[in-house]
Each structure stands twice: as structure tokens, then as C-alpha cells.
């Protein structure tokens, strides 16, 4: 369910509204990592408190809990809306943290790949062998196979093997 800014302002107190405003798109990307961690902590505390309040009001309305004030709550729409607004703010902040984590992982992967390529190139430079040593410079020469080639067709071998099985089965059945 989409909640517009007017409903957010109506559901939240002024300091909560400031926190939620920081969680919206262009503002949340401008925050530093430290500010984002603080914002997570504050919004999480407010969300948990709103959840507790909504649960208490719901129990009061059903008659399962004693009223906090003089009379039991008659409606819980405000507390549910406040909880929804804070939960959506928390979701936005968590997705921004995850986006930053993935971006950092990608950068780290690129840096590590670049380092590995540099190391590989350095090793290739160190492996160059001078021409007057006893190493193969012309490449490898093939070594002839000493086993003789089997001239019998595989199909013929299979036919003979099957005939031997049949003959043995006839002898065994006597």
C-alpha cells in the first residue's frame, strides 16, 4: 500500500518525520556510512516502539488487556499507519545499505582481478628463458605410440563375445 507524504506527516511526530524524510531516495544516498548507521538505529527503535503500541491498542480493543488510559482504545488506524510508515522507511534504509555493500563487493572484485592480472604478467616476464639453456625452444615433439594398433573391428569383437556367452549358457543349462 502506497503512503503519500501527507499521510506520513499526519501519522508521525516532527522528529520522526525528519528521520523518515532522510530515508527517501535522493537524501539517503547523500548520507555517509556513519550517518546511515545512526539512522538505522533510530528508525528501528521508533518502529519497534510503534509496533509495541499497535499491539497494545489491538489487545485493548479486543478486551484482552487493561486500558493504558482512562478508557480502552476505540481505533488503531493511526498506530497501524505509523507502524507502516516506519517499516517502509526501514525497508528503504536496508535496501540502501545492501546497495552500498554490493557496490563495495564489485569494486573489491575488480581490484583483486587487476592485482591478479598484474601478478600474472610479472610472472610471465620472470619466466622468459635465455636461448643458450637446455630448454625446448621449438616446442614439444610428439612421442610415437609403442602399442600396436588393434585391427579387429569393435563390432566383430562384440559379436564373438556374445556368441561365447550364448554357448556358455547352453553348456551351463545341461
Write the DSSP string, 45-102.
Answer: HHHHHHHHHHHHHHHHHHTSS--SSSS--S--HHHHHHHHHHHHHHHHHHHHHHHHHH
Residue ranges of domains in the chain: 5-126
Residue 127's pLDDT band (cuts 50, 70, 90): confident
Cβ within 8 Å of residue 53, ≥6 positions away:
79, 82, 83
Q: How many CB atoms lie within 10 A of CB 96?
A: 18
The answer to whether 73 and 8 have CB atoms below 8 angstroms apart is no
Encode pLDDT of 159-168 as tens digits. Answer: 999 999 999 9
Specify which of 3-17, 45-59, 104-118, 134-148 reaches the highest per-range mean pLDDT: 104-118
CA distance 76 to 161: 86
The grid coordinates listed for 14 are 516532527
Specify the pLDDT at position 61: 83
Percent of the chain with pLDDT over 70: 90
Question: Buried b vs exposed e over 155-167: b needs ≥16 C-beta within 10 Å?
Answer: eeeeeeeeeeeee
Amino acid at each position: 500500500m502506497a503512503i503519500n507524504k501527507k499521510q506520513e506527516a499526519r501519522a508521525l511526530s516532527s522528529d520522526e518525520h525528519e528521520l523518515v524524510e532522510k530515508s527517501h531516495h535522493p537524501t539517503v544516498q547523500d548520507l555517509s556510512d556513519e550517518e546511515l548507521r545512526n539512522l538505522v538505529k533510530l528508525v528501528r527503535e521508533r518502529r519497534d516502539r510503534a509496533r509495541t503500541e499497535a499491539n497494545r491498542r489491538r489487545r485493548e480493543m479486543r478486551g484482552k488487556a487493561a486500558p493504558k488510559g482512562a478508557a480502552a482504545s476505540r481505533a488503531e488506524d493511526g498506530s497501524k499507519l505509523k507502524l507502516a510508515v516506519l517499516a517502509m522507511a526501514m525497508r528503504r534504509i536496508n535496501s540502501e545499505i545492501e546497495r552500498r555493500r554490493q557496490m563495495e563487493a564489485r569494486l573489491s572484485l575488480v581490484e583483486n582481478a587487476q592485482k591478479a592480472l598484474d601478478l600474472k604478467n610479472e610472472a610471465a616476464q620472470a619466466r622468459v628463458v635465455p636461448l643458450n639453456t637446455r630448454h625446448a625452444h621449438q616446442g614439444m615433439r610428439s612421442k610415437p605410440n609403442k602399442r600396436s594398433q588393434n585391427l579387429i573391428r569393435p563390432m566383430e569383437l562384440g559379436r564373438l563375445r556374445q556368441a561365447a556367452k550364448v554357448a556358455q549358457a547352453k553348456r551351463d543349462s545341461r
